[in-house]
Structure 1
């Protein structure tokens, strides 16, 4: 089997950890690097979590740290009420971690790995897009060397989904809207997996209990870290847990799980709609405007949630 080499750009994060285990156990994937962003915790917290996850589950790849702030503006306060104060559901974590961070900044690791394997590497980005934007600024030619970029972020109005931080914006995008607009203006092949589909896939308590029972160490770990995350969903009136970051991994492994639409994408970078993602569908005629001369990218509009959940369970059980 020809495996897809993957850089995982992430801010672990409960759902990020679930997505990392999905990548780690998928037979189709060869994970080659992890880069960290701030978001679900400070950059120090998310990097420490990435090192911990890599060490605990034997993921032998470099982990490189991204910047502590977005391209413009302050970092903001992490959403402790969603992921806990340690961003992994407040499960007990060790005082020391043997694995150490790569000396390169995250965007430089991305550039180096892509240049070492031109045309072979996919980037799965499930946090703010700061690292990708910095990589593109420093070495614009890498856009033509990346196999594909799959982004968990955005919302385009399908099934009533427009935002989960404001009425207009999803968390990863509003965390660094300028980076998101620069990245979606790049010529690399992008698929955005937004709230339109990630909130269509929900994991029940029964599903997670079965994963804990049958999925070995990874399955039990997923159960443990999701206790806090599920409680947040319940407090928000959502009966089951949304599956955000693992949806991007699922698209990479099996794009037939999703329906997509193609077109140029812009991100609003100021004003009360900051962070809003808007697509101009291919084939639609409009007067000249800010979408002109932008590359066409895909957004996900529908998902086969049952097949996706079956794939996730099968992959985690494979690791057991």
Structure 2
């Protein structure tokens, strides 16, 4: 399986998520995946910081892969990342899968540069979107992927083929606790596992302090796993009324269900969306841990 990852990686930045980096590490640990390229997008932080962290991660892992920096903000569609994705879709037409875990600006740009982009990509796995508020003990967590560029999200969701959306709500079905992390990674001396432990530890504290979450949700790694190993999920489908206005809040449900008048001024479309649900929770968790643990063995 040929995969390109487009992500808002902040693995080395304090008080930011590490799950984008964990998703990349997961792909590298899957023998059935041929990672074709890496592109960065804004979301968790601005593009300059994401670019810095991504280049640092690629250098740390000694990965010799095509890499391109994405757009600066919503609407910055013509950028090096979108050009790379457009070219890859044409080069590997029908064989390329895209894992996108941040804003979808680069994918929108790729479709503008390559009008056949959505037809050439075999499938998309997206992390983002909500179907209900993400309420936790201390406060609501806002959606920060589709909402970063709602026009781009609308385009990908309505034009892409074989699109799987790992919503924030469905990610809540699998909590990773610090005790589980320590049990899985303690006494393992490989450099990659040690790196995971070092940069994941603050995320546990941050989630508890900010949201009251006793652990963390590995949002982007679940989208990666759903792409490569869908047997751990049920690929549920439902029709959603999508709109740019709704996606500006990250919501798959349009706030208005009446297309009259509304459709005149704003994009509004009913779309069949695949929203995977985890069906084998403990097996999936074990699979993720074993895949990450295998990385140090691969480097020996």
TM range (shorter): 0.7 to 0.9
Alignment of 1:2-81 (within 5 A): 4-13=1-10, 14-71=18-75
- Whether 2:170 is the aligned partner of 1:186: answer no
Name the CA distance, whole Å, in 2 between partners of 1:140 and 1:243. Answer: 33
Aligned twin of 1:195: 168
Name the CA distance, whole Å, in 2 between partners of 1:125 and 1:10. Answer: 6
Aligned twin of 1:76: none
- Whether 2:223 is the aligned partner of 1:226: answer no
CA contact (8 A) 1:233 1:241 kept: yes
- The worse-fitting range, judged by mean Cα deviation, of 112-121 and 270-279 is 270-279
Aligned twin of 2:187: 213
Name the CA distance, whole Å, in 1 between partners of 2:20 and 2:63. Answer: 15
CA contact (8 A) 2:241 2:268 kept: no
Structure 1 residue 63 displacement after superposition = 1.1
Deviations 1:13-45 (A, max 9, x none): 211111111111111111011111112221111
Go from structure 1 to structure 2 and tell me whether the alpha carbon gap of 1:201 and 1:124 turns closer, same or farther (over 3 Å shift): same
CA contact (8 A) 2:51 2:69 kept: yes
CA contact (8 A) 1:169 1:277 kept: no
Go from structure 1 to structure 2 and tell me whether the alpha carbon gap of 1:231 and 1:156 turns closer, same or farther (over 3 Å shift): same
- Whether 2:112 is the aligned partner of 1:137: answer yes
Structure 1 residue 196 displacement after superposition = 2.2
CA contact (8 A) 2:125 2:166 kept: yes
Go from structure 1 to structure 2 and tell me whether the alpha carbon gap of 1:295 and 1:262 turns closer, same or farther (over 3 Å shift): same
- Whether 2:83 is the aligned partner of 1:108: answer yes
Alignment of 1:238-249 (within 5 A): 238-249=213-224
Go from structure 1 to structure 2 and tell me whether the alpha carbon gap of 1:194 and 1:135 turns closer, same or farther (over 3 Å shift): same
CA contact (8 A) 1:229 1:241 kept: yes
Structure 1 residue 247 displacement after superposition = 0.3
- The worse-fitting range, judged by mean Cα deviation, of 186-195 and 294-303 is 294-303
CA contact (8 A) 1:197 1:302 kept: yes
TM-score of the superposition, structure 1-length normalised? 0.78
Go from structure 1 to structure 2 and tell me whether the alpha carbon gap of 1:105 and 1:266 turns closer, same or farther (over 3 Å shift): farther
Name the CA distance, whole Å, in 1 between partners of 2:161 and 2:189. Answer: 36
Aligned twin of 1:299: 275
User: CA-atom RMSD, angstroms?
Assistant: 2.8
Name the CA distance, whole Å, in 1 between partners of 2:108 and 2:282. Answer: 34
The DSSP-based 3-state class of the residue aligned with 2:208 is helix
Structure 2: segments with no counterpart, 5+ residues: 11-17
CA contact (8 A) 2:134 2:169 kept: yes
Structure 1: segments with no counterpart, 5+ residues: 73-103, 280-285
TM-score of the superposition, structure 2-length normalised? 0.83
Go from structure 1 to structure 2 and tell me whether the alpha carbon gap of 1:162 and 1:25 turns closer, same or farther (over 3 Å shift): same
The structure with the greater share of residues assigned to helix is 2
Structure 1 residue 243 displacement after superposition = 1.1
Name the CA distance, whole Å, in 2 between partners of 1:114 and 1:31. Answer: 14
Structure 1 residue 138 displacement after superposition = 2.6
Aligned twin of 1:89: none
Name the CA distance, whole Å, in 1 between partners of 2:70 and 2:122. Answer: 22
Aligned twin of 1:313: 289
Q: Which of 133, 143, 160 is the equivalent residue of 1:170?
A: 143
Q: For this pair of structures, how many residues does the alignment match?
A: 277
